Structure 1
Amino acid sequence: MDKSSDLTFCVDCVILDVEGTTTSIKFVKDELFPFAASHVKRHLQDNWQIRETRDDANAVLRQAEEDSGENLADVGNDNQDCVIDRVVKLVQDMIAQDRKVPCLKNLQGKIWKKGYEDGRLKGHVYADVPTCLKQWREDVGVQVYIYSSGSVAAQKLLFAHTEYGDLTQFLNGHFDTAVGPKTASESYVKIATSLATPADKILFLTDIVAEARAALAAGMRVVLASRPGNAPVELSDGEHFPTVSSFADIVLVKSRE
């Protein structure tokens, strides 16, 4: 792809989506999600004596209660094995439905942590990502952040344990849905405010059109990522976003302001 003016940006910060942008959707769907689903029971059993684990289980039950309107018992009021089995079923259903709720993302991150640390999991990033992250940080001098529906803890684990080594040295920080939904323009306004950077000096990369629209509405510059396995992009009449298949297609110039 030609490095045209359409792909040249004068910015101070870059914000990257993960799934479908830095990282293969296939890795998330076929490796991370099944790993969490198959290891959630062992995680709960092995760590049930820790208050934090029981709190995590309670958060799942509260989410199910909110979803269904049913009044579910607290984990302290039922047989441990029964509670664990119930939470496992709820978690596996949430994973199958690709829910973005915090209780699931939090629990998944803790399950993945052990997998990354013992080498059973290696975070996937596309081959252009390590080189571009290094170039953007060290040569161009822009700051690089991650904004994903996955928890901040899960983001850090993925980028610390990639096939290319630890990439967290090239990241300035992380955002998750605690700042707000990724399809809400207010979330991007909050991020720009927290970075003390004008929105038009921030470039956001994502594969999701609804997220691109939200970031654009907040005043950010936006590029769509077209990676293998991504869903087809459907734009409205007259709508246009620059699109790249590799981060190397993008030319960054550090803002002088």
Structure 2
Amino acid sequence: MKKTRNKLSPPQKFPFALRALPAVLATQWNTSTFIPYRQAFPPQHSASPATLQAHVEDLTNRDVKIAYLKDLQGFLWESGFETGEYATPLFDDVVPRLREWRERGVGLGVYSSGSVVAQKLLFRHVSVHVGEAARVGGKGGAGGGGGKQVSSPSSAEGHRAAETEDLRDLVTEGGWFDTTNAGLKTEASSYGKIVETLGWHAARTLFLTDNVGEYDAAASAGLRVILLDRPGNAPVSAADMARMDVVQSLDDIELVEK
């Protein structure tokens, strides 16, 4: 699965990380907890809080995907998630559809350029929409993914913390993949490795993505593939749209036993 979260620009993707960073740099620069994260950055960019701040902002604005930045973002996210400052926004069709599929015995996996640690953090703190809490949280779903939790109010920002639920149990055991344990997302071999690891058959595995290169790689590996055309996606050419299976919502997908 990919493309279940709302599409945001790079600074919008990591607003809490950027907002929280100055305070962390000021209060935790020499702590044993934070030192490994700052030391992972190149020395010329981690010589002082100011240089590290500037480098992180630059990498974020350019949407650079690099391990030490992801690790730092994960550290900042975890703090924000735990205090209720941040929650994972999903498209409205996602949770009901995933629960339905799990109830039918369909295995679910995640393959993302974000680390497995980050994936689990995001799925652990999924935002419950106002007015949707009863519908989304009240249906347990196969795999036990109905563990809704309400975070305590945040005193730091003076507003009520996000209401979230833990959806990690919707994902099949061992079904978390990133570019470290599976490989690059534009290489067919990565998808072959995933289905082999899970013991699935490629022809009976559906991969959902918003990326043409990933679509082609997964299809080359023998998987069924659908492009999710979500608001905010990168433009896809008319020629590519014409040759691919495309939907706008998970509600447009029907899984049929054969």
**TM-score normalised over the length of structure 2:** 0.76
Q: What is the aligned partner in structure 1 of residue 176 from structure 2?
A: 174
Q: Any gaps of 5 or more consecutive residues in structure 2?
A: 129-164
Q: What is the aligned partner in structure 1 of residue 53 from structure 2?
A: 88
Aligned residue pairs, count: 219
Q: What is the aligned partner in structure 1 of residue 73 from structure 2?
A: 108
For the pair 1:38 / 2:40, whether they are aligned, the reply is no
Query: For residue 193 of structure 1, what is the amino acid of its counterpart?
Result: E
The equivalences for 1:144-183 within 5 A come to 144-164=108-128, 165-172=165-172, 173-178=175-180, 179-183=182-186
User: Higher relative contact order at CA 8 Å, sep ≥6: structure 1 or structure 2?
Assistant: 1
Query: Percent identity between the aligned chains?
Result: 39
Q: What is the aligned partner in structure 1 of residue 153 from structure 2?
A: none
Shift of 1:48: 3.8
C-alpha contact (below 8 Å) 2:226/2:247 kept by paired residues: yes
Distance of aligned partners of 1:56 and 1:130 in 2 relative to their CA distance in 1, 3 Å threshold: same
Query: For residue 227 of structure 2, what is the amino acid of its counterpart?
Result: L
Shift of 1:212: 0.6
Distance of aligned partners of 1:46 and 1:231 in 2 relative to their CA distance in 1, 3 Å threshold: same
For the pair 1:60 / 2:41, whether they are aligned, the reply is yes
Q: What is the aligned partner in structure 2 of residue 212 from structure 1?
A: 215
Q: What is the aligned partner in structure 2 of residue 127 from structure 1?
A: 92
Helix, strand or coil: the match of 2:5? coil
Distance 2:241 2:228 in 1: 19
Shift of 1:238: 9.4
Distance 1:227 1:121 in 2: 22
Shift of 1:143: 0.9
Distance of aligned partners of 1:89 and 1:133 in 2 relative to their CA distance in 1, 3 Å threshold: same
The equivalences for 1:200-239 within 5 A come to 200-234=203-237, 236=239
Distance 1:237 1:112 in 2: 35
Shift of 1:194: 1.4
Q: What is the aligned partner in structure 2 of residue 23 from structure 1?
A: 5
C-alpha contact (below 8 Å) 2:11/2:61 kept by paired residues: no
Q: Any gaps of 5 or more consecutive residues in structure 1?
A: 1-15, 62-71, 76-81
Q: Deviation per CA, 1:112-155, whole angstroms, max 9, x where unpaired?
A: 111111111121001110111101111x2111111111222222
Distance 1:199 1:52 in 2: 42
Say which is worse superposed, 181-190 or 50-59, in terms of deviation. 50-59
Helix, strand or coil: the match of 2:14? helix
Distance 2:234 2:45 in 1: 40
Distance 1:216 1:112 in 2: 33
C-alpha contact (below 8 Å) 1:24/1:124 kept by paired residues: yes
Q: What is the aligned partner in structure 1 of residue 144 from structure 2?
A: none
The equivalences for 1:130-141 within 5 A come to 130-138=95-103, 140-141=104-105
Shift of 1:203: 0.8
Q: What is the aligned partner in structure 2 of residue 198 from structure 1?
A: 201
Shift of 1:88: 2.1
Distance of aligned partners of 1:146 and 1:234 in 2 relative to their CA distance in 1, 3 Å threshold: same
C-alpha contact (below 8 Å) 2:10/2:60 kept by paired residues: no
Q: What is the aligned partner in structure 2 of residue 250 from structure 1?
A: 253
Distance of aligned partners of 1:237 and 1:176 in 2 relative to their CA distance in 1, 3 Å threshold: closer
Query: For residue 92 of structure 1, what is the amino acid of its counterpart?
Result: E
